[in-house]
């Protein structure tokens, strides 16, 4: 079954709106774990818009699940990751110049910089994933950086209207296959929700999805534990469907 990484950034966004201490991302992580999350994801942005350094430190020392740190490919943030030692770092673009057409990391255009960053992280025993658009050139370049994982950007699929939906899904299927043929383990994320997850979760060999906004939004109504277990239930259905059950 596809694993579920829950991105809890938005709890920090809400906290920061008042500048106080609630809601506490650490509690969100514990509730996500109770709901069956397989991992916790946070994005330490250069402007610290939501998650702060203290959040990452606390999560690292208290969360039992694998911790995935999304981050820009900059020296400052890479040095922080090398100190905190998350289980995985997912390199994401934060500046326009680092973007490909569909909003993923432009590995092809920033190859040497990304390759060096991957090896600085892997030297410390941290797994690395590259968040890329489902494009062949990016996948091939990603496979040459030394990273073992890619996270396919599902934003275009999530935003597609009825006409383009099938095409965008196909791009993801083909990209996942290409990545696997090039030795990469494939994750997916961005814009995934309770309505659009099923076809993505049936991508052959998909390892993990990272989902934030839709799960945290549902949590306002149902509580986070239930919101996570509802998503896990859909992933279980997708795994049954993929096996023809
Ligand atoms: N994966 C990556 C690399 C992301 O940057 C984000 C957004 O922070 C997500 C997954 C989660 O996206 P969403 O909040 O739309 O579920």
CA 202 and chain centroid, separation: 17
Place of tokens 């092809």: 108
State pLDDT tens for residues 153-183. 999 999 998 889 999 999 999 999 999 999 9
Q: Is the CB of 210 under 6 A from ligand 1?
A: yes
State pLDDT tens for residues 187-222. 999 999 999 999 999 999 999 999 999 999 999 999
Nearest to 134 by CA among 178, 198, 91: 178
- Which pLDDT belongs to residue 245? 62
213 is catalytic: no
Query: For the whole model, what pTM was predicted?
Result: 0.96
Does residue 139 register a pLDDT over 90?
Answer: yes
Burial class, 16, CB count within 10 angstroms (exposed 0-12 / middle 13-18 / buried 19+): middle
Dist. CA 146 → ligand 1 center (Å): 23
State pLDDT tens for residues 78-95. 999 999 999 999 999 988
Which domains does the chain possess? 3-242 (3.20.20.70)
Q: Whose CA is nearest to atom 12 of ligand 1?
A: 190
H or E element that contains 208 = strand 208-211
H or E element that contains 112 = helix 111-122
């Amino acid at each position: 079954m596809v694993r579920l990484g829950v991105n809890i950034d938005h709890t920090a966004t809400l906290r920061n709106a008042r500048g106080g201490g609630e809601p506490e991302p650490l509690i969100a992580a514990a509730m996500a774990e109770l709901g069956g999350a397989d991992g916790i994801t946070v994005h330490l942005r250069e402007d610290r818009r939501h998650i702060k350094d203290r959040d990452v430190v606390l999560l690292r020392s208290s969360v039992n699940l694998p911790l995935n740190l999304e981050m820009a490919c900059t020296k400052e943030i890479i040095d922080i990751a090398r100190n905190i030692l998350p289980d995985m770092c997912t390199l994401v673009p934060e500046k326009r110049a680092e973007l490909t057409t569909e909003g993923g990391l432009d590995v092809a255009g920033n190859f040497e910089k990304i390759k060096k960053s991957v090896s600085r992280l892997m030297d410390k025993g941290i797994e690395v994933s590259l968040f890329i658009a489902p494009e062949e050139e990016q996948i091939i370049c990603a496979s040459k950086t030394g990273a073992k994982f890619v996270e396919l950007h599902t934003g275009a699929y999530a935003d597609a209207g009825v006409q383009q939906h099938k095409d965008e899904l196909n791009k993801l299927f083909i990209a996942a296959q290409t990545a696997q043929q090039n030795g990469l383990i494939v994750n997916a994320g961005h814009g995934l929700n309770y309505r659009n997850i099923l076809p993505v979760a049936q991508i052959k060999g998909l390892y993990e999805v990272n989902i934030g906004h839709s799960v945290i939004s549902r949590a306002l109504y149902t509580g986070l534990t239930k919101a996570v277990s509802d998503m896990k239930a859909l992933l279980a259905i997708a795994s049954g469907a993929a096996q023809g059950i």
